[in-house]
Every structure is written in structure tokens, then in C-alpha cells.
Amino acid sequence: MMQNTTGRAADHVVSTLEQRILEGIWADGQALPSERDLMLEFGISRTVVREAVRLLSARGLVEAKPRFRPVVRKAGFEAVVEAAGSVVTNLLQQPGGVRNMFDTRILIEAGLVREAAKSANAADIVALKNALAANAAAINDSDLFYLTDTAFHAVFYAIPRNPVLPAIHSAYSTWLAPQWSQMPRLLDRNKANLAAHTAIFDAVLMRDPDAAEAALRSHLIAAWNQVRQTFGDI
């Protein structure tokens, strides 16, 4: 009963504070009032205040860190994706969870490279070229190669100018990192991945959506096979 009472009281506080955040009464990065001030304003206990902050954090509206007052977060797609992180982490631990997530990445990136081949402008081509050059320059430094590999793929998420897509790329990078970051760093694999990136770039440069998608799918299927060799079916 006590837990239900706490939950109902916290819901009222969350509703009020959420409205203030959405109305811009508190700016992005501004700290919430202290626990004591919230306790006095709403006539609630410290337990209820902390439950309300937890709920606001789960909704991506505040950032709460131990020993610091929670701060307002700008409502954006990044916050939504981050708020879903704990749920996704649990899903990835289920049998086939990582594979299912990776399959969605293939579907999205297949569409993105097709779009890039059809509509990338001069600045986009330069961004891809520079990302590919950075990837090539890191060929002998596997840790840096991993970072530049991620950055190359990130360009495709930026080309459509849709703010949802970079947030999705960031999410994939974060959610799949536990597996990808533990992959053996081998020069031969770096070379194979660079060759795949080059094939994707060349297809985009030639304005060939079919070739771009085929190169992308071949690249990511090979990447998944590398993961399976390391971790088995996940």
C-alpha cells in the first residue's frame, strides 16, 4: 500500500514538473529545485521526490547523477533513444537479441546508402570522402580504425537531414558496442572492412543505388559473420 501511495504522489509531481519543462519554464541544462524545495512545495516526502525524479529521468526529461541536483534535458530524439536504453539492453540479452538488432541496422543502412547514391550533394560526398580517408589512415591502429569505421557509417545517417537518424546511429553504436568493441583487432579484418567502405563510397559516387545497397549488405553480413565466429549465436 505504501508503494502505491508513493507512486500516486510521484505521478502528480511528475505531471507538474513535466509541464514546466515542456513550457520552457526551466531551460535546458538548468538544475531542478532542491529536494527540500520540492518537498515543501508539494508537501511530500523525500522518497516521493526521488521517485518523481527517477520517472522524469526515465522519460528523458532530466539527467540525474548521484550527489548532483538533476538538470533539465532538452527534449530531443537523443533523449528518447537514451531513455529506451535499459529496455533495449534487456532485449539484447535474450536469445537472438543482438542478431535482431543488427538486422534492423542492415535494413536502415541499406535504405540510407540508396538515398545517398540518389541525393547526396557535394558537401555530403566530401564528408564521405574525408571519413573514408580517415578510416584508411587508421588501418594500422585497430582502436582508431574502429572509431573511424563508426564515423564513416555515421555520415550516411546525417545525409537525409533527419534528426531522428543520427540519434538512431548513436543508439546502435552504444547498444552494439559490448560485442563490437570486444572483436579481435586484426589487420586483415581492417583491410577487408576498408575495402567494403570503399566499394560503398564508389557506388554512391557513381550514383548507383543498387550497387551501394549490395556493397552495404555484403559488408554488414561479413561483419556479422565475424561476430558469430567470436561469440557464436547471440
pLDDT confidence band for 24 (50 / 70 / 90): confident
User: Would you tell me which CATH number, out of the four given (3.40.190.10, 3.40.50.150, 1.20.120.530, 2.40.50.140), belongs to the domain 83-231?
Assistant: 1.20.120.530
Note whether 224 and 99 are within 8 A (CB).
yes
pTM: 0.66
The whole-number average pLDDT for the span 2-12 is 68
**DSSP class of 31:** B
Nine-digit cell string for 161: 537531414
Lowest mean pLDDT among 53-57, 86-90, 95-99: 86-90
Task: Write the pLDDT tens digit of every residue in 108-156.
Answer: 999 999 999 999 999 999 999 999 999 999 999 988 998 999 999 999 9
User: Would you tell me which CATH number, out of the four given (1.10.3720.10, 3.30.420.130, 1.10.10.10, 3.10.20.30), belongs to the domain 2-74?
Assistant: 1.10.10.10
Q: What is the pLDDT of residue 1?
A: 38
**Which residue ranges make up each domain of the chain?**
2-74, 83-231
How far apart are alpha carbons 205 and 11 in whole angstroms? 53
Average pLDDT, the chain: 86
C-beta neighbour count of 13 within 10 angstroms: 20
Q: What is the pLDDT of residue 50?
A: 92
